[in-house]
Structure 1
Amino acid sequence: MTIDERPWLASYPKGVPAQIDPSQYRSVAALLEESCDRFRHRPAFTNMGKSITYDELDRLSAQFAAFLRNDLKLAKGDRVALMMPNVLQYPIAIMGVLRAGLTVVNTNPMYTARELKHQLDDSGASAIVVLDNFARTVAEVAPGTACKHVITTGIGDLLGFPKSLITNLVVRHVKKMVPAYSIPHEIRFNDALKRGARSSLPRTDIGPDDLAFLQYTGGTTGVAKGAMLTHRNMVSNMLQAFAWISPNMREGEEVVVTALPLYHIFALTANFLVFARVGGYNHLITNPRDMPAFVSAIRSARFTALTGVNTLFAGLLNTPGFDQVDFSQLHLTLGGGMAVQRAVAERWKKVTGSTLAEAYGLTETCPAVCINPLDIPEYNGSIGLPIPSTDVSIRDDDGKVMPAGQTGELCVSGPQVMKGYWKRPEETAKVLSDDGWLRTGDIARIDEKGFVYIVDRKKDMILVSGFNVYPNEVEDVVAQMPGVLEVAAVGIPDEKSGEAVKLVVVRKDPALTAEMIREHCKANLTGYKLPKAIEFRESLPKTNVGKILRRELRDSPAPAATSA
């Protein structure tokens, strides 16, 4: 492509290169080992008042890797599932699995037995590391799968005596957060570390094309598929994101708050890998849904960076005491995973003084595709510019590239694009062309300066009398109302128009009425975009990382006496 075909290059911030070199590291393990060596005495992670240094991360992950290879006899390429929220055990386990030449299968701890069984069966995972709180689900399904080794751990296991003992006792017996389970021959995580310390890690040649992660996606719309992310894919995306934000980074001084779970690709790459490259100090939040505890944990952390999704930022802004947090060092707030609403971004800037820069990515791209320049003065409604070594195009249903300003499906090419879906060549062929272009399923447009604007998900688009209605636009308008806490727009069947717009609203002001919302919409939206039905609820259904489940809102009946 020429500069005319890549208009975004002319809009790049100063110091950001057009290309990165994916061969800089042979593997993610090599990257993390270098960081541990360079920042050995700097704190790497903290959780519930306990911190570990990069030196401890290096030592403990090597012990875990040695245990997996020498004690469990796992062979290069075997899959290991990790089923935990953000606790200190998680980054140790990730690095250990990768150093052993194995593949990480990140697993949502909130999975039902059916969902977990599918993922274990599909991935063929030989082992799983699970937090006690979720071990009952593993106990129920593991015996019928290829998963022969179960490693269990408690929330407090790495907090040090006596805090570890007290924490685990409270979690089990006071808060009763650990349902009873029975797993014959379970191995405790701390015992695994001790056993691994007795032997040395065998040398394993880990190459760029080896699988680093099987990252499952698509579970809300059908059977979850495992995106095959190679070491080259992950290293590339780390280097791409690093190149974008490094002009704003201070090596050895960054403090990042990680509220999104590490099993989510956004936090995995952005918070773990990118910040490890600069010796970042990572504050792991185990339960971000407990907003008061979250705010308390970061009140005096003097953090420099925070990543999240729109619902997380909105939740923080509506939590008492958040405006008293120390934002004096905050210079990077990155929003992704779902559309950032203008009302949330503008309020965030007012409260924190930091611009909420929107980014865009997919599980299939490790995830980053576009990021806004970090020096933008305010929210601009765009997902930003394609990052280094990334090409994007807008295409019609036949795959024809459309001119600037036209709306169509966003397609992506670059070294971060997945190898394909695990054992699903037909599904891979649907989204990945022979020359490596990925169809994202997102409707977008690119302006003359190269900024990309997501209109909506292709599958979420509402067709009203032949006109396209994009839920994001309707939600953005309604979210500007002071009495609205959260809102989602979905399509419902309609005899006259085929589909109609339905709003599901969570009120901040109990006095808010459906008529007030309708009047606001009439003043800001054209006729076919206006909601035909408005429903009030106490909360919206969300994934564990805060994405609103629109399909569930479409399919589930309204709670009694809440429609208007």
Structure 2
Amino acid sequence: MVLYTLYDLIENNLPDRADKTALVLGDAELTYGELARRAEALAAWLHERGIRRGDRVAVHLHKSIEEVVVTFAVARLGAIIVNVSYQRSVPQLEHILHDCQVKLLFTDRRRAMLAEKAGALRAIEALVVLGRPDGLANATGWDDLPRSGEAPASRPVDADLASLHYTSGSTGMPKGVMTTHLNLLDGTHRVADYLHNCAEDRILGLVSLSAPWGLLQVTTMFLRGGTVVLQPVAIPSEIVATINAKQVTGMAAFPVSWIEIVAYLQQEPARMPSLRYITSSGGKIPLPTLEALPRVLPGVNIYLTYGLTEAFRSTVLPPERFHDKMGSLGRPCRNVDVFIIEPVKGVCGPGEQGELVHRGTLVTKGYWGDPDTTAKSFRTCEALRPLIGDEIVHYSGDIVRIDDEGFLWFVERADSVIKCSGYRVSPTEVEDIVQRSGLANHVVAFGVEDDTLGQVVHIAVSAEGRAVDLAGLTQYCRQNMPTFMVPQTIHVWEGAMPIAGTGKVDRRAVIETCLLNDRK
């Protein structure tokens, strides 16, 4: 069977794997056949409520089986799923619902009550609530939905939008990245290929489905006929317990989670014999954490990957090169073109650095309702015109360098460089040095305007449960950094740093809080 849309992933399993477990959450399990029946019944109900091809339907739930059912019911109709991370605030939820004209929202009673009280639900036509619907306008309870039904035939094509993934930029409210069925299926094949996924795999579903990478954990398993073990709790001890109890074979997580998991396993070593591989994306893992991973997870294959919401899963560092290329972004995946572009030189070669540019079916369609912002990142490339003509490519905003073997290395964000005393300072380099001290778990470095020096370096640090040794950290920085790089101010963040809807540290929230505290 040729796969064109997300829903084809479920249908492809029905002839031979209808009784195979597709989803696990705690003691609950759902087979491929049961998932197809639930998604079909929900699609029929949605069609009765007027949802058609291209309409936007939002889901705003904790990680759950219902979240997956909604996703594939929407895909069955050719409508567009908008998964709003449960970590988003009510104002952000309101912005997203209004921005893409969502017709119907799935959420729980608690969040629905908060949103309605704030007037955030005025933009939608209907609401489905996990829990009691009473007291909410135009609301239907999840338990009141029909358990059977057949939706009319729908003929979406692979070029149709399948999902909108809202991502926070450096300024303003979240913007919706337009992702097609082809984008998602292409990424699914690519990830399943380099991870060597198979029907026997049981993958931990930790990453939020609001991020393409989180959705790919589900789609890769459905492509191979494997099982997704949903993990709504990100506490390291709970993750280890689930891996062992459910015989998990693979796990994906963002760096913020790997930092915490490694720290936990260093204090509480645990065997996880079923675990075959782990994979990371969404940022740079600090060197001390990278060095510790093979010690706390002996015999486990480690895949470091790179990708963006706008162009996901573009490079991979395979396990056999983890030690000699530790920290690298890897090399391009199959069916992906990447180029390092410098405005003056053009295409960069070994030893040179420039902005990472993506080409291929991984490149999404830009930002919903925002052609001006789209045109800044999705555009033609003069340096590539002899090769690809006027084809649209994606400019990542990430400065990388390429070594003589073709491996890529992250340098900095193009828009975050700190300019101090005439020197360019990379926040990433500052963060790496601070984390090597062992005195902080999470670090955010940023520049603050200064009348004399242009900008000075500030850092926010969190030790999570430990007191921050300010004197020791200051001394370490002075011993290991040039004078212009040494942080002028160290902001101690009490407790865990906030996490953005993407599952990564919310850098903007951390920086804004530090600057606000400075003004008080």
Q: Same fold (TM over 0.5)?
A: yes
Give the structure 2 partner of residue 221 of structure 1.
171
Give the structure 1 partner of residue 388 of structure 2.
none
Q: Any conservation in 1 of the 2:305–2:313 contact (CA below 8 Å)?
A: yes
Match status 1:128 vs 2:108: no
Give the structure 1 partner of residue 207 of structure 2.
260
In 1, Cα distance between the equivalents of 2:109 and 2:271?
Answer: 34
Instruction: Return closer, same or farther for 1:483/1:217 CA change in 2, 3 Å cut-off.
Output: closer
Task: Letter of the 1:426 partner, please give it.
Answer: D
Instruction: Return closer, same or farther for 1:399/1:119 CA change in 2, 3 Å cut-off.
Output: farther
Instruction: Return closer, same or farther for 1:309/1:139 CA change in 2, 3 Å cut-off.
Output: same
Q: Any conservation in 1 of the 2:243–2:272 contact (CA below 8 Å)?
A: no
Query: SS in structure 1 opposite 2:310?
Result: helix
Q: What is the TM-score with the length of structure 2 in the denominator? A: 0.90
In 2, Cα distance between the equivalents of 1:385 and 1:324?
Answer: 32
TM-aligned CA deviation for residue 480 of structure 1? 2.1
Give the structure 2 partner of residue 436 of structure 1.
392
Q: Deviations over 1:111-138 (max 9, x none)?
A: 3332122111111111111122311244
Q: Deviations over 1:169-193 (max 9, x none)?
A: xxxxxxxxxxx98312311223224
Q: Any conservation in 2 of the 1:300–1:326 contact (CA below 8 Å)?
A: no
Q: Deviations over 1:71-106 (max 9, x none)?
A: 212111111001112111011111111011111011
Match status 1:479 vs 2:435: yes
Question: Higher relative contact order at CA 8 Å, sep ≥6: structure 1 or structure 2?
Answer: 1
Give the structure 2 partner of residue 541 of structure 1.
498
Mapping of 1:132-281 within 5 angstroms?
Answer: 132-140=109-117, 141=119, 143-145=121-123, 147-154=124-131, 182-194=135-147, 197=148, 199-219=149-169, 221-246=171-196, 249=197, 251-269=198-216, 271-281=217-227
TM-aligned CA deviation for residue 243 of structure 1? 2.2
Query: SS in structure 2 opposite 1:318?
Result: helix
TM-aligned CA deviation for residue 323 of structure 1? 4.2
Give the structure 1 partner of residue 386 of structure 2.
none
Give the structure 2 partner of residue 402 of structure 1.
348
Instruction: Return closer, same or farther for 1:259/1:424 CA change in 2, 3 Å cut-off.
Output: same
Q: Any conservation in 2 of the 1:335–1:358 contact (CA below 8 Å)?
A: yes
TM-aligned CA deviation for residue 479 of structure 1? 1.4
Match status 1:91 vs 2:68: yes
In 2, Cα distance between the equivalents of 1:351 and 1:373?
Answer: 19
Match status 1:298 vs 2:243: yes
Match status 1:352 vs 2:305: no
Give the structure 2 partner of residue 446 of structure 1.
402
Task: Letter of the 2:214 partner, please give it.
Answer: A
Where does the alignment leave 5 or more consecutive residues of structure 2 unmatched?
381-390
Task: Letter of the 2:512 partner, please give it.
Answer: D
Instruction: Return closer, same or farther for 1:531/1:73 CA change in 2, 3 Å cut-off.
Output: same
In 2, Cα distance between the equivalents of 1:322 and 1:44?
Answer: 34
In 1, Cα distance between the equivalents of 2:43 and 2:270?
Answer: 39
Higher mean alpha-carbon deviation, 92-101 vs 487-496, is at 487-496
In 1, Cα distance between the equivalents of 2:467 and 2:72?
Answer: 51
Q: Deviations over 1:452-499 (max 9, x none)?
A: 111122222212223221122221222122332222212122233211
Give the structure 2 partner of residue 8 of structure 1.
none
Q: Deviations over 1:423-471 (max 9, x none)?
A: 2221111111141210111111122212111112222221222322112
In 2, Cα distance between the equivalents of 1:137 and 1:34?
Answer: 40
Q: Deviations over 1:146-204 (max 9, x none)?
A: x11101114xxxxxxxxxxxxx9xxxxxxxxxxx983123112232242xx1x322111
- Give the total of aligned pairs: 505
Query: SS in structure 1 opposite 2:318?
Result: coil
Instruction: Return closer, same or farther for 1:181/1:314 CA change in 2, 3 Å cut-off.
Output: farther
Higher mean alpha-carbon deviation, 408-417 vs 47-56, is at 47-56
Instruction: Return closer, same or farther for 1:499/1:221 CA change in 2, 3 Å cut-off.
Output: same
Query: SS in structure 2 opposite 1:152?
Result: strand
Instruction: Return closer, same or farther for 1:217/1:377 CA change in 2, 3 Å cut-off.
Output: closer
Q: Any conservation in 2 of the 1:86–1:285 contact (CA below 8 Å)?
A: yes
Q: What is the TM-score with the length of structure 1 in the denominator? A: 0.83
In 2, Cα distance between the equivalents of 1:110 and 1:546?
Answer: 9
Q: Any conservation in 2 of the 1:84–1:90 contact (CA below 8 Å)?
A: yes
Q: Any conservation in 2 of the 1:358–1:383 contact (CA below 8 Å)?
A: yes
Higher mean alpha-carbon deviation, 427-436 vs 106-115, is at 106-115
Q: Any conservation in 1 of the 2:5–2:157 contact (CA below 8 Å)?
A: yes
Higher mean alpha-carbon deviation, 119-128 vs 38-47, is at 38-47
In 2, Cα distance between the equivalents of 1:133 and 1:299?
Answer: 32
Instruction: Return closer, same or farther for 1:559/1:102 CA change in 2, 3 Å cut-off.
Output: closer
Give the structure 2 partner of residue 556 of structure 1.
513
In 1, Cα distance between the equivalents of 2:150 and 2:121?
Answer: 30
Query: SS in structure 1 opposite 2:86?
Result: coil
TM-aligned CA deviation for residue 390 of structure 1? 0.9
TM-aligned CA deviation for residue 387 of structure 1? 0.9
Q: Any conservation in 2 of the 1:36–1:57 contact (CA below 8 Å)?
A: no
TM-aligned CA deviation for residue 398 of structure 1? 6.3
Q: Any conservation in 1 of the 2:125–2:138 contact (CA below 8 Å)?
A: no
Of residues 53, 57, 79, the one that matches 1:102 is 79
Task: Letter of the 2:218 partner, please give it.
Answer: F
Q: Deviations over 1:207-237 (max 9, x none)?
A: 0111101111235532322111111111111
Give the structure 2 partner of residue 5 of structure 1.
none
Query: SS in structure 1 opposite 2:314?
Result: strand
Task: Letter of the 1:554 partner, please give it.
Answer: I
In 1, Cα distance between the equivalents of 2:506 and 2:15?
Answer: 42
In 1, Cα distance between the equivalents of 2:509 and 2:420?
Answer: 20
Instruction: Return closer, same or farther for 1:542/1:326 CA change in 2, 3 Å cut-off.
Output: same
Task: Letter of the 1:530 partner, please give it.
Answer: V
In 1, Cα distance between the equivalents of 2:209 and 2:402?
Answer: 31
Task: Letter of the 1:252 partner, please give it.
Answer: A
Give the structure 2 partner of residue 162 of structure 1.
none
TM-aligned CA deviation for residue 337 of structure 1? 1.4
Query: SS in structure 1 opposite 2:441?
Result: strand
